Structure 1
Amino acid sequence: MSLTRTLIDVRPLRTSPVFRRLLIGRTVSVLGSFMTSVTVMYQVWDMTHSTVWTGAVGLASAVPTVVVGLFAGSWVDRGDRRRIFLFNTVGQAVSSLLLAVQGFTGHVPVLGVLALIAAQSGFSAVGGPASGVFIPRLLPKDQVAAGLALNTMSFTTMMLVGPALGGLLIGWVGIGAGYLVDALTFLVAFYGAFGLPALPPEGEPSRGGLHGILDGLRFLAGHRVVRGALLIDLAATVLAMPVSLFPLINSERFGGDPRTLGLFLSAVSVGGITASVFSGTVTRLGRPGPVMLLGASIWGAALAAFGLMTNPWAGLGCLALAGAADACSVVSRSTIIQTHTPDALLGRVSAAEQIVGQAGPNLGNLRGGLVAGWTSGATSLFTGGLLCVLAVAGVGASTPELRAGAGVTPPVEP
């Protein structure tokens, strides 16, 4: 097999100028978002010196994503997705600008900061499902997986770079600058979004309100492949999410060295970036179902192995392997969802995927912390990883369509 086919498939960048602009805008915007994530955590800690309040930052972000997301998909499936995305991008930019103002002035109480984070998350909860329909509408079916892989590599790279840049900027200029840079990144997001064509739903528009939501839920419950993909995501995040356990594992196994702790998340990101760079074989294979099942299984097994490691380098290797497996699983899952969902329902299904992606890790971190409190960090990681592998095996056994490939096929109307 040639090296060209092994490296990430860049055909979408060559064949679609609209996708290329959109990816540039998204990459810069995600960089700003990660800078804001570290900035708000630092500010809230600086204002309160309370882990309760820093924990509330995650709550302020998660609650609007779930609540607004329930209705966002139905709205997205009734209107022009481009216009909805632009409106919500404006809302996110204004929220970031207000965060910057309060960061420079320092006169807003902590509840006000959390309210602005909640507002920004609410706009994102609508913008996310709107942008979820872009790739399958802009690219040929055989390039959807490649487009998603490019998105994943962009996101993972910014996850590695953004917090570090945010920390440096806070140290050099102050809290307000971290938020201001995020607000300015939305100018590049506008650059990408304005090049989009009008994207009304194809097929019958969604019914309004609760009826539209129920239609989307019926599709999810009845479509075995899409349902299986979301269940795999829940298994990987709820049962095996390791982040909340990193400080405890570092203390139990590696002497509490902060330098080791800092490398844990970096190792996951490096693994994800590496897998994305060499994702050409996976995205061209056209069998996202087996790739997703294998990737989620390796994610669980690698984290279970990490829980047993006493050598820090071996532990970092396990985390890098977990990150690589997760990147392959994420691309495959999104490919399945976006190529098996009718366009008229894609906003609602993308909203469900976004809710699962937001709630799953939070529940997983909570599960990991509770089990670790009863046992130990190593036990929590090992049992969680093992349960993840068993859950993935169960979904695979009960969904033969995933084992058979779940390749790119025309979506079945509900």
Structure 2
Amino acid sequence: MAFGDLVKRHLVDTRPLAVPAYRRIWSGQAVSNVGVAVTVVAVGQQVYDLTHSSLWVGLLGMANLIPLLVFGLWGGAVADAVDRRRLLVAGSLVAWASTLFILAQALLGLDNVYLIFVATAVNATGFAITGPTRGAIIPRLLDPELVPAANALNSLVYSLGAVAGPMIGGVLLASGGGAPNYAAAYAVDALLFTGGLYAALRLPALPPLGEVARPGARMVWEGLSFIARSPVLLMSFVVDIIAMVFAMPRALFPELAADRFGGSMTALGWATSAMAIGSVAGALFSGWVGRISRQGVALVLAIAGWGLAVAAAGLVHELWLVVVFMAVGGVADVISSVWRQSILQLYAPDEMRGRMQGVFMVVVAGGPRLGDLRAGATATAFGLTGAWVGGGLACAVTVLIVGLSVAGFRNYRSDTRVAALRSETKPA
């Protein structure tokens, strides 16, 4: 096989972009993700400037997490009971309104940290509604065999936003001369967010396909019960929790920079960005991902690779090696996220997809934060190296034992599920 053909086979699969509705929603996300990342940087800096306390900055995570946990489950239930296009538009308007609100407080110079927290919580509420809804929409727009490629494309724009957004945010904040220009950062986010809103407005109608029930606690419980009865779905969540709780080293980056690199902010920045850099590379060369059928086994191996890469990064004392190993971990993480999302979207019936995406959001939001807690606690007890390396190794060993012990998950084949879906449904 010629080198050019080999590269083409492994580059990100762009076939989903041939579907106009998906292309618009993907392009809207590509634009709005950058704006969201700009605001994340600006909000953290503004809260610190107002309070001079890292504790207050850390509490922003709780302002995000609580709405995501509560409304993620509720939003997923609603997504299974109403037209998903209308729900996506409604959630997008909530998020956009919060961005306009935080822009207004900056323009008016209110300098009230409580208003910023309220705006952050409202924004997280909008995201908790749109996230599960958007995830449940994808299988309705595409043929089943294109779903993994669509998830790889989604991961690519998310990772690119995570790299570009903070850089753009830093430039915008510095544009104010003496004082950070928060209004410029929030204005860019408000402007870029219109891309995602426009894409939602242009979607076709997406009414429920299955039996419709009133959204509420009963529907949420039915979704959780469905997961408990489905080994494939249950294990897709379990292995993700193992990956994040055992191996996520994010809370250790400041101590790493202080202990090994003299407190260098450059080192801290590179360590923080390394995973996202690897995720971009992994998504760009993800053309082969959709051709893997044994996705249960592949997911376990990818997470084990993530754990080993993290452990290696914790052992080295050269910054470039830390970046390389964390970037390798980022590649493994983005590939595993594509398979996790694809299993979730294709294994669950359409009438359950919103709720499955809601649970997915809760796991994705909660896992890394539990990982931060684990990392900080074990570093206090065992030191930086023990917490970092031990967590990575524990992740690799645990996920291999747990993930491969469940026959239904170990033997899951995506091609069999795709063939079943093709005989049951057609794309919208």
For the aligned pair, the TM-score class normalised by the smaller chain equals over 0.9
Q: Determine whether 1:360 maps to 2:367.
A: yes
For residues 13 and 349 of structure 2, the distance between their equivalents in structure 1, rounded to whole angstroms, comes to 25
Matching of residues 174-193 of structure 1 within 5 Å: 174-193=181-200
- Confirm or deny: 8 A CA contact 2:232 2:412 kept in the other structure: no
Deviates more, 1:188-197 or 1:390-399: 390-399
Q: Residue 330 of structure 1 corresponds to which residue in structure 2?
A: 337
User: Which whole-Å deviations, capped at 9, do the CAs of 1:124-175 have from their partners, x for residues lacking one?
Assistant: 1111111111211111011100000000011001100001101111111410
> Partner of 2:12: helix, strand, or coil?
coil
> Partner of 2:315: helix, strand, or coil?
coil
User: Which whole-Å deviations, capped at 9, do the CAs of 1:16-35 have from their partners, x for residues lacking one?
Assistant: 01111110101111111111
- Confirm or deny: 8 A CA contact 1:35 1:162 kept in the other structure: yes
- Confirm or deny: 8 A CA contact 1:291 1:328 kept in the other structure: no
For residues 131 and 213 of structure 2, the distance between their equivalents in structure 1, rounded to whole angstroms, comes to 17
Gaps of 5+ in 1: none
Q: Residue 56 of structure 1 corresponds to which residue in structure 2?
A: 59
The correspondence for 1:303, drawn from 310, 318, 331, is 310
Q: Structure 1 residue 397: deviation in Å? A: 2.3
TM-score, normalization by structure 2:
0.93
Q: Residue 124 of structure 2 corresponds to which residue in structure 1?
A: 121
Q: Structure 1 residue 311: deviation in Å? A: 2.2
Q: Structure 1 residue 185: deviation in Å? A: 1.5
**Residue correspondences, number:** 411
Q: Structure 1 residue 190: deviation in Å? A: 2.1
Q: Residue 291 of structure 2 corresponds to which residue in structure 1?
A: 284
- Confirm or deny: 8 A CA contact 2:21 2:141 kept in the other structure: yes
Q: Residue 134 of structure 1 corresponds to which residue in structure 2?
A: 137
* AA aligned opposite 1:371: T
> Partner of 1:158: helix, strand, or coil?
helix
* AA aligned opposite 1:131: R
* AA aligned opposite 2:275: V
Deviates more, 1:195-204 or 1:247-256: 247-256
- Confirm or deny: 8 A CA contact 1:246 1:264 kept in the other structure: yes
- Confirm or deny: 8 A CA contact 1:28 1:185 kept in the other structure: yes
Q: Structure 1 residue 401: deviation in Å? A: 3.1
Q: Residue 7 of structure 2 corresponds to which residue in structure 1?
A: 3
Q: Determine whether 1:69 maps to 2:76.
A: no
Q: Structure 1 residue 281: deviation in Å? A: 1.1
For residues 205 and 129 of structure 1, the distance between their equivalents in structure 2, rounded to whole angstroms, comes to 17
- Confirm or deny: 8 A CA contact 1:31 1:159 kept in the other structure: yes
The correspondence for 2:376, drawn from 369, 372, 385, is 369
For residues 318 and 408 of structure 2, the distance between their equivalents in structure 1, rounded to whole angstroms, comes to 40
Gaps of 5+ in 2: none
Deviates more, 1:102-111 or 1:143-152: 102-111
Q: Structure 1 residue 320: deviation in Å? A: 1.0
Q: Residue 301 of structure 2 corresponds to which residue in structure 1?
A: 294
Q: Structure 1 residue 370: deviation in Å? A: 1.1
Q: Determine whether 1:29 maps to 2:32.
A: yes
Q: Residue 390 of structure 1 corresponds to which residue in structure 2?
A: 397
* AA aligned opposite 1:3: V
Q: Structure 1 residue 378: deviation in Å? A: 1.3
User: Which whole-Å deviations, capped at 9, do the CAs of 1:365-400 have from their partners, x for residues lacking one?
Assistant: 111011111221111011111121122112322222
* Identity among equivalent pairs (%): 37
Structure 1 consecutive aligned stretches of length 4 or more whose deviation exceeds 4 Å = none
The correspondence for 2:224, drawn from 189, 193, 217, is 217
User: Which whole-Å deviations, capped at 9, do the CAs of 1:308-362 have from their partners, x for residues lacking one?
Assistant: 1122222221111101100110001101100101110111110000011001111
For residues 194 and 72 of structure 1, the distance between their equivalents in structure 2, rounded to whole angstroms, comes to 18
Q: Determine whether 1:152 maps to 2:155.
A: yes
For residues 198 and 22 of structure 1, the distance between their equivalents in structure 2, rounded to whole angstroms, comes to 14
For residues 13 and 216 of structure 1, the distance between their equivalents in structure 2, rounded to whole angstroms, comes to 31
